[in-house]
Amino acid sequence: MSNIENQIFSSYQRNPDLYDEIYDGEGNIKDIYQKLFDIYGGHSIQDYINLNSKAKASFFNQGITFQVYGEDNVQEKIFPFDLFPRIIDTEEWEIIEQGSIQRAKALNLFLWDIYHDKKILKDKIVPLELITSSANYLDQMNGVNPPGGIYNHISGTDIIKHKDGKYYVLEDNIRCPSGVSYVICNRTALKRALFGVFNHYQTHTVTDYAENLLEQLESVKPKGVDIPNCVVITPGMYNSAFYEHSYLAKTMGVELVEGRDLFVENDFVYMKTIKGPQKVDVIYRRIDDAFLDPLEFRPDSALGVPGLFSAYKKGNVTLANAPGTGVADDKAVYTYMPEIIKYYLDEEPILNNVHTYHCSRPDELEYVLANIPELVIKPVDEAGGYGISIGNRLSEKEIEEVRKQVKENPRKYVAQPIMSLSVHPTYIDDSESFEQRHVDLRTFTILGKDKEFVLKGGLTRVALKKGNLIVNSSQGGGSKDTWVLKKQ
């Protein structure tokens, strides 16, 4: 079937300057997409509109919603879901999987080192200032040995495909990366809407995430505990990722708790239950370091548990991820990732890093100030895509403003060349047709004691606004089901 006969793709406009995930360089549909393309082409656009609205309703009815901070009238939104899946073949996936594990392991060793002997600093691979000036470096973690030697139990790695066809990592999220529940819900929604398409592909399942997560949490139980009691702690129902917290607790079969449900007695953590206190051994925490324990960190935290950190320090409870992992999540540390991987693993990085200019270095600052229109300027310590300036989208006046900000506080900024994220056909409501939209991929890597696991799928995020490069859900992004094909 040729492109023209395919009615739902008849108006698809392919910009040859962009890397399109479903077309090869000559403008032909890639083999792995052909079957899917044919099946979708058998539907009319009206069928598609109907299916799409059903899928949306299904998300809303399941309560899979989130909130955007900083808007005046906060409301629950659904994370827009696109029915046209993204397919990753076996060979490419191997690279992504091995690359994600490599980074997670290197970061774990880095964290151990900077909270113990600090050899990487003494060997001058990473500058001392990176640690001393980081707001996320926790002095209290010095010399602490987390159970199983694991700091970043769960890592979310944001990966893109550039127009050169290679994968690049944009960010390693190792504080409380979110999004994994969408991966599983997207699969469910697609199965409900278009079950038949799965008959034509051998796709890896994504529903094994919860069992792997639980197994990992149990593997890092405190010393002397036989069968650990694990819980998920959430800041509460007003948190933007509350759905995910409850989903993970439910699918792991463990309790979902808030700070007020726990208390600490003689440096052990207990959960209040109607049958009396029940000891807690492993906490998958979805609250930030600063809010964990009002006696140790922010005294005004109503989300945490007084005395929790002492219990952790004494080795009576495991926190996943460990406190203080945020120091390695810093965008300035990202820029040293190739060196960090080489230093600890003696390996070449499997996934590329985007070249980064450090505004804290005078010569690089000079380059950045002179080339703002060709660069992306990022604050080193903001999450969720906030505060990012994309040089070629700025007016003269805005460029001047960015220049002023960077000049005033160079340590706060890094700059990178503007990466061209690959695009993928995405159904757009307003035009009732398929259009090219930029996509990225967040993989979820689990490290446990002698255990590593990458969810075979991950979250493909779509920048829904035309031409937009920022895919975060808080910035109006959507998502796609992501298929990893089994070996033939």
User: What residues make contact with another protein under the rule CB under 8 A?
Assistant: 118, 121-122, 124, 128, 131-132, 139-140, 142, 263-267, 294-296, 299, 306-307, 309-310, 313-314
Rounded CA gap, 353 and 271, in Å?
Answer: 43
User: Closest approach of Cβ 310 to another protein, in Å?
Assistant: 5
How far apart, in Å, are the Cα atoms of 20 and each of 17, 164, 169? Answer: 9, 11, 18
Residue with tokens 């029940």: 278
Rounded CA gap, 436 and 418, in Å?
Answer: 18
In the bound state with another protein, the residue whose beta carbon lies nearer, of 84 and 344, is 344
User: Closest approach of Cβ 220 to another protein, in Å?
Assistant: 20
User: Closest approach of Cβ 311 to another protein, in Å?
Assistant: 9
User: Closest approach of Cβ 121 to another protein, in Å?
Assistant: 5
Rounded CA gap, 462 and 451, in Å?
Answer: 31
In the bound state with another protein, the residue whose beta carbon lies nearer, of 70 and 276, is 276
Rounded CA gap, 446 and 425, in Å?
Answer: 30
User: Closest approach of Cβ 404 to another protein, in Å?
Assistant: 19
In the bound state with another protein, the residue whose beta carbon lies nearer, of 191 and 314, is 314
Rounded CA gap, 450 and 115, in Å?
Answer: 21
Rounded CA gap, 456 and 184, in Å?
Answer: 11
In the bound state with another protein, the residue whose beta carbon lies nearer, of 222 and 457, is 222
In the bound state with another protein, the residue whose beta carbon lies nearer, of 172 and 296, is 296
In the bound state with another protein, the residue whose beta carbon lies nearer, of 146 and 294, is 294
In the bound state with another protein, the residue whose beta carbon lies nearer, of 135 and 237, is 135
Specify which residues 140 forms β-bridges with: none
Q: Vertex 182, ends 179 and 186: CA angle to 5°?
A: 150
User: Closest approach of Cβ 266 to another protein, in Å?
Assistant: 5
User: Closest approach of Cβ 242 to another protein, in Å?
Assistant: 23
Report the candidate in 361, 451, 422, 428 with the shortest Cα–Cα distance to residue 154.
Answer: 451
Which residues are within 8 A (CB) of 313 and not within 5 positions of it... i.e. 6 or more apart?
140, 144
